[in-house]
């Protein structure tokens, strides 16, 4: 869960719980990984990664680019999945770079989420064929969201992606590469 998921929190209690977990995960230790439930592993390791960002996230790109490959794979796949599930690939390409989305495809491959990776790769092909994204004006956003170029890729992704399956595969992945996740 990223700080942007806080907006969808229905209650103050949910927000307080989110902040408490984020603070705990920011200092996640490697030896704690095995005690984290499978259903929370993605939240834990992405919280640990986001704990490295400045409060205003101005250094997000720098931090993400410095991550070891296993961390990058998981973080990008999770981040893009949330974007696509929230507003489709049109929104994802408007909000984040095609390079970041390409890294997510690699992440889905690394996690053995081949159908989700195929959907992301299809969206990358579509993005390239429609000329990528332009500026970031509100009119550009409305124009992009009114197009149906990404509908097929959106549907492919929604059919391929399951949060439960992703968490199960992520748990195995984190345990296999746990020397890269968490603080010593």
Burial class (CB within 10 angstroms; exposed 0-12, middle 13-18, buried 19+) of 150: buried
What integer pLDDT is reported at residue 134 of this predicted model? 54
pLDDT digits (tens, 9 = 90+) for 40-59: 999 999 999 999 999 898 99
What integer pLDDT is reported at residue 79 of this predicted model? 97
pLDDT digits (tens, 9 = 90+) for 109-144: 999 999 999 999 999 999 888 876 555 677 777 766
Residue 86 has pLDDT above 90, yes or no: yes
Place of tokens 């409060």: 55
Burial class (CB within 10 angstroms; exposed 0-12, middle 13-18, buried 19+) of 71: buried
Q: What is the pTM of this model?
A: 0.86
Residue 180 has pLDDT above 60, yes or no: yes
* Window from 11-20, 70-79, 151-160 with minimum mean pLDDT: 11-20
Of the two residues 55 and 107, the one the predictor is more confident about is 107
Q: What is the mean pLDDT of the chain?
A: 88
- CB-based contact 2:60 (threshold 8 Å): no
Question: 69-95 and 114-129 are packed helices; what angle lies between their axes, rounded to 10 degrees?
Answer: 40
CA distances from 129 to 15, 148, 153 (A): 41, 13, 14
Residues 6+ apart with CB under 8 A from 34: 175, 178
DSSP state of 15: H
């Amino acid at each position: 869960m990223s700080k942007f998921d806080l907006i969808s929190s229905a209650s103050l209690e949910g927000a307080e719980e989110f902040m408490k977990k984020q603070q705990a995960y920011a200092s996640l230790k490697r030896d704690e990984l095995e005690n984290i439930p499978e259903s929370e592993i993605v939240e834990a390791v992405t919280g640990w990664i986001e704990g490295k960002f400045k409060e205003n996230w101005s250094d997000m790109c720098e931090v993400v680019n410095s991550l070891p490959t296993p961390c990058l794979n998981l973080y990008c796949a999770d981040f893009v999945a949330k974007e696509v599930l929230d507003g489709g690939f049109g929104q994802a390409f408007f909000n984040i770079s095609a390079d970041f989305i390409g890294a997510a495809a690699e992440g889905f491959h690394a996690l053995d989420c081949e159908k989700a990776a195929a959907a992301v790769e299809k969206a990358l092909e579509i993005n390239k064929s429609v000329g990528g994204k332009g500026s970031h004006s509100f009119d550009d956003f409305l124009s992009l969201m009114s197009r149906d170029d990404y509908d097929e890729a959106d549907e492919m992704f929604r059919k391929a992606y399951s949060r439960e399956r992703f968490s199960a595969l992520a748990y195995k992945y984190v345990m296999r590469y746990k020397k890269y996740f968490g603080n010593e």
